[in-house]
Amino acid sequence: MIDFAALQDFVYENRVFDSNVHGLAHWRQVEFNGMLLAQAMHADITVVRLFALFHDCKREDDGYDGEHGKRGAEFAKQCFEEKLLDITQEQFDKLYHACAFHTKEHASGDATIDTCYDADRLDLGRVGFELDPKKMATTPGAKIARKSLTAGVSVYEMREWLKTVYV
């Protein structure tokens, strides 16, 4: 059993950059979004929750940082090897892939990895981007993106609006 609160504290303490854009509030929103999508996608919730913690934890800044996902994946690997993550090798492999490729790959074809991708993409409103159904990796993610456009949700109100959405 993973103590997610303790793990979150550990990952946060070991982050590279203290970000308002890619920091703790974003990690928590990605976790929320992932939980929203996971049931519909039959995704591994543990992997989705871990992705929320690790995917941006090794960013060096809030600008373009093309290798931050790989660095986050490597940090997750270190934690896995040190037995800080009580997960199977298969779960770890999905976590590693999702972190390493979340900004480089549109979709992987794996329900859990694609849920991770969309959990992150559903929080693009925080940086002023409308959701684009074509850029989502999952059908539920695309459905939510379409709903946001149809409803005319302001990108800056997206986090609150997502609390009202059902997939």
The rounded distance, in Å, linking the Cα atoms of 55 and 128 is 20
The rounded distance, in Å, linking the Cα atoms of 117 and 75 is 18
Q: Are 23 and 66 in contact (CB under 8 A)?
A: no
Q: Is 134 helix (H, G, I), strand (E, B) or coil?
A: helix
* pLDDT mean across residues, the chain: 94
DSSP state of 41: H
pLDDT in tens, 10-43: 999 998 777 787 778 999 999 999 999 999 999 9
Confidence of residue 118 (pLDDT cuts 50, 70, 90): very high
Structure token digits, residue 158? 């997206």
Mean pLDDT of 131-137: 98
Mean pLDDT of 124-137: 95
Question: What percent of the chain is predicted at pLDDT more than 70?
Answer: 100
What are the structural domains, with CATH classification, of the chain?
Answer: 4-162 (1.10.3210.10)
Residue 65 has pLDDT above 80, yes or no: no
Is this model's pTM higher than 0.85 or not? Answer: yes
Total residues belonging to the chain: 167
